[in-house]
Structure 1
Amino acid sequence: MGKDRGVLLLSHVGFSFMEDLVDTVRSRGLKTCVLSSMPEPKHQGSRPGTLADLADDVRVTAEHVLTPRDVEEYLDHLEAAGTSVSCCLTVWEGYRYLMALANARLGVPDLDEKQVLELRDKLTLRNRLADAGLSRGRASALTPERLAERQREGGRYFVKPISGIASFGTFPLSADTTWTDLERIAAEVRSDTVYAGVFTTDPGPGGPAGPGPRPETAADKGAKPHASTGHDRGFGMEFLVEDYVPGREFSFEVIVVDDEPHVVAVHEKCEVTEAAGTVLENACVSPPTSLSQEEIAAGIRWVARVLDTLGLGWGCFHVEARHAPSGWDLIEVNPRVAGSLISPSVAAMTGGPSLLDLWLDSLLTARRPAGFLKTLKGLSFSADGTTRSGNATFFRVFFAAPGTIREVGLNDALPLRPVVAQILLNPGDTVETSSREVFLGQVLWSMDRADQDAILPGLLPASERAIEVLYETERG
């Protein structure tokens, strides 16, 4: 009797798009096998049961962060139970190295663990691309001395965790920034069950050891030892300071198969708010409205050079960039599908597969990719900056304010009916003050590309009222 074919899905604290991923796997007639770390206390009574109802096989560990041993032992269990695992997939960036380890064991072409961990080292990444002429900015480890030095210089700089996620602790440097601000953010990280493990190069026993010691760069000459950025002070995380990257912000959604990158979509972040402790990406439109075909083509060439320089020959990437008259420059290279509604936005543009669909199919066909590549090329931007899609999308993400929610719901009086509307919090939920965004909900619209210029000017302001929320201190 042949073995059942399945896909291993890695879930962080019981979530990580599990509903979407399970549906994507099951639609291909494959078994869904979920390995999850222990949920937060408020979800421990319900989420494991929900996962058990969703998937064909589920294991929930006793810790909040998965380890390589957890993955190895679960793969052993599945093999003994008669399941042939075709590949491993996760959307949680903190587990991307575990996905790489699992796919290496399974013989599935993918990034290797070292490449994933190097991408998460944003200090070395920035300077490596600057050395290659692909970024005009440089970064250095942040110390109290360097903080004061940069403030005296009076230029524009950006602060972010060297290894982080979700814009947590990411903000423009100002004259008012203090070392105490960084200590406060680090304290929030230590107390955050969901995010704590992804802000350190050593999150615990069995966790990633990080990419190893970074070579000294010109920016680090004369600095104190690397640990002086706060690791030995109990921070549990390290920060960098980098030259501010000017321009409008965009993202390239890329599938790479056997060293050949394909840009499936380009999103323009038409509203970005740089707050004191984070950066909020409020709204995105695709295709971009402020770029010419030639500028998109230049961006596609630039992305290909970035990926080639970094040796990234397989995978799904969310490449965040800025465009200015001087050209393209990097924000981050994320080795995963983007969050919020990027994946459904791709589905609305293609009229079929989402970015999750394409990533999964790239893994399932990696040993024989010819048929998939033909499909992928037909969905992707051409080298000249044009897309075959006749669709356009716009979505808005809503962030919660601190307080207790009294009422929340979708506004029915909108000029265009959404194709996706998600409300993520409920009446009675309390939102604490934090340096990371707290998602309230998100709404996606689709339109004919020929109508994009006519529809967006009215939809953009109207969309701000798409989700209506009242807090306990407010009066209707």
Structure 2
Amino acid sequence: MLLLSHVGFSFMEDLVGTVTARGLKAYVLSSLPEPQHQESRPRALADLADDVRTTAGHVLTPRDIEDYLDHLEAAGASVLCCLTVWEGYRHLMALANARLGVPDLDEKQVLQLRDKLTLRNRLADAGLSRGRASALTPETLAARRREDGRYFVKPVSGIASFGTFPLTPDTTWADLERIAAEAHSDTVYASAFTTDPGLGAPAGQGPHPRTAADNGAKQDAPAGDHVGLGVDFLVEDYVPGQEFSFEVIVVGDEPHVVAVHEKCEVTEAAGTVLENACVSPPTSLSQEETAAGIRWVASVLDVLGLGWGCFHVEARHAPSGWDLIEVNPRVGGSLISPSVAALTGGPGLLDLWLDSLLTARRPAGFLKTLKGLSFEADGTTQCANATFFRVFFADPGTIREVGPNDDLPLQPVMSHVLLKPGDVVESSSREVFLGQVLWRMDRADREAVLPELVPASERAIEIVYGTECG
């Protein structure tokens, strides 16, 4: 298996474990880690995988993929398929699988999904979205601010809710310049803000010279004085309703909804959207509404011609029906995959995606397993379990103490604390993950468990900030 790693990470420990559990070798191609990890991460990857190559740049390129596959083939390795969970490399995964003869999306389809401006309007034209989107310029920003409607701003191609927020009368062009500057200066995320696979700001490259800091106090750029941000933004009609995600595996044009997560707490902050907690199966949907959602997802995938792959389809449901947030051609982040494993009592979403690739040429046996785990067309599921997980985000400051809290009404099945004492969290327009905790319960007991667990879960990870390390 060829695994693509961005700056040395991208859940490599989980991916390599999933691969080696099947008796396969793991070959890792990684872009150059950030300076503070350039010694430790290549060593850690070498301890994990059977072969590792780290490139000289912070962003992998198609040439890197071709060269590494040439190297592996010359060494006599038989590479079965390629996988990555880093969305910015999903088109590279598609290129590798095309060379290996593995059914998958093609590069063009991946890049079209990442162009959220075109995607929104394409689905609106097909009657599958009630909203439309426009490129954000000083002129369209001023026009939307004068209108009474609700609008949402996001990068045309982005990741991890970086720079996504509701438009308000106080939003200025300087706000967009500030967010674009942050995106360009972020070694990890910079390359994710383009749908052009040949582009991506290299490490150390600054943003456009006219930033919010240069402007001083908030002000709008004059109409017609559009200075390029280096990051394209869109403004779209606000999608109302409760938020959900559909976890989907598609094999041979047949979609299978493995799980539906309800985002029971979502915080819309000034420069990002924080998804704080999820429950699955959903608590606020009827069987009929779930079935309608499954039909709607199938229609979206059909219109977009997405016949293979794993998808994390984010949507909202309102009395008017289902509407799209975005289609991610990968597993969902945070604890989505482990939540699926807790629901099924077996494979997680990452396992299912990998198995769909390994069996792509002869999928009959895998399809039987997949159908047994997935929702029926009528909105019912055979899973007897329910899950709840909470994601914790750090505030700006220096962490003095951080750790799990064991005084909870139900003990979690998984708990990750991602930061440590002494870490300094900077103010940013993207979320900074502190940790995440997952609980599993019998579905029949959920209504009795959740009312106490949800508020108690807010203290599942305890953190103290200070100016010095304790």
- TM-score category of the 2 structures, normalised to the smaller one: over 0.9
Deviation per residue, 1:84-128 (Å, 9 max, x gap): 000000000000000000000000000000000000000000000
TM-score (norm 1): 0.92
1:120 pairs, out of 114, 125, 128, with 114
CA distance in 2 between counterparts of 1:21 and 1:201 reads 25
Supply the distance in 2 between the matched residues of 1:198 and 1:11 (Cα, whole angstroms): 14
Q: Secondary structure at the match of 1:84?
A: coil
- In 1, the alpha carbon distance for the partners of 2:178 and 2:224 equals 12
Q: State the one-letter code of the partner of 1:183.
A: E
Question: Is the CA contact 1:398–1:442 (under 8 Å) kept in the aligned structure 2?
Answer: yes
Q: Paired residue for 1:373?
A: 367
Tell me the equivalent position of 1:235: 229
**Number of residue pairs aligned between Structure 1 and Structure 2:** 450
Structure 1 CA distance for aligned equivalents of residues 378 and 414 of structure 2? 31
Aligned-partner Cα distance in 1 for 2:298–2:226? 38
Give the residue type in structure 1 aligned to 2:279: V
Regions of 4+ moved over 3 Å: 201-207, 228-234, 473-476
Residue in structure 2 matched with residue 456 of structure 1 by the alignment: 450
State the AA in 1 paired with 2:99. Answer: R
Offset of residue 236 of structure 1: 1.5
Alpha-carbon distance in structure 1 between the residues aligned to 2:269 and 2:231: 20
Equivalent residue, structure 2, for 1:307: 301
Q: Deviations over 1:39-91 (max 9, x none)?
A: 11111120110000010100000100000000000001111111100000000
Shift of 1:277: 0.1
Does 2:79 match 1:82? no
Would you say the 8 A contact 2:139–2:224 is kept in 1? Answer: no
Kindly indicate whether residue 159 of structure 2 is the aligned counterpart of residue 165 of structure 1. Answer: yes
Q: Deviation string for 1:227-266 (max 9, x for gaps)?
A: x999983522100000000000000000000000000000
Unaligned runs of 5+ residues in structure 1 are 1-6, 208-227
Distance in 2, matches of 1:475 and 1:425, equals 13
Give the letter for the 1:132 counterpart.
A
2:263 counterpart residue number: 269
Matches within 5 A, 1:64-463: 64-202=58-196, 204=198, 233-463=227-457
8 A Cα contact 1:267 1:286, kept in partner: yes
| Partner SS state of residue 271, structure 2 | coil
Q: Which amino acid aligns with 2:428?
A: S
Q: 1:49 aligns with which of 29, 43, 50?
A: 43
Instruction: Pick closer, same or farther for the CA change 1:475–1:432 going to 2, 3 Å.
Output: closer
Distance 1:231 1:455, change over 3 A: farther
Contact 1:143 1:230 in 2 (8 A): no
For 2:157, what is the secondary structure of its paired residue? coil
| Distance across 1 between alignment mates of 2:341 and 2:118 | 34
The aligned counterpart of 2:14 is 20
CA distance in 1, matches of 2:199, 2:467: 44
Question: For residues 325 and 67 of structure 1, what CA distance do their matches in structure 2 show?
Answer: 45
SS of the residue 1:91 aligns to: coil
Between the aligned partners of 1:287 and 1:229, the Cα distance in structure 2 is: 48
Task: Measure, in 2, the Cα distance between the counterparts of 1:31 and 1:475.
Answer: 42
Secondary structure of the corresponding residue to residue 360 of structure 2:
coil
Percentage of identical aligned residues? 84
CA 1:34–1:298: 2 relative to 1, 3 Å? same
**One-letter code of the match for 2:35?**
P
Of 177-186 and 234-243, more deviation after overlay is shown by: 234-243
SS of match in other structure, 1:233: coil
CA offset at residue 201 of structure 1?
3.3
Query: What CA distance in whole angstroms lies between the structure 1 residues aligned with 2:13 and 2:4?
Result: 12
Q: CA deviation at 1:202?
A: 3.8
Q: Deviations over 1:336-391 (max 9, x none)?
A: 00110000000000001000000000000000000000000000000000000000
Query: SS in structure 1 opposite 2:255?
Result: strand
Distance 1:413 1:293, change over 3 A: same
Between the aligned partners of 1:135 and 1:260, the Cα distance in structure 2 is 22
- Tell me if the contact between 1:71 and 1:98 (Cα under 8 Å) persists in the aligned partners: yes
What's the RMSD between the two structures over aligned residues? 1.8
Q: 1:34 aligns with which of 28, 37, 51?
A: 28
Distance in 2 (CA, whole Å) between partners of 1:413 and 1:293 is: 35
Cα gap change, 1:35 to 1:101, in 2 (>3 Å): same
- Provide the secondary structure at the position in 2 that maps to 1:101: helix
Letter in 1 for 2:10: S
Aligned mates of 1:320, 1:231 — CA distance in 2: 35
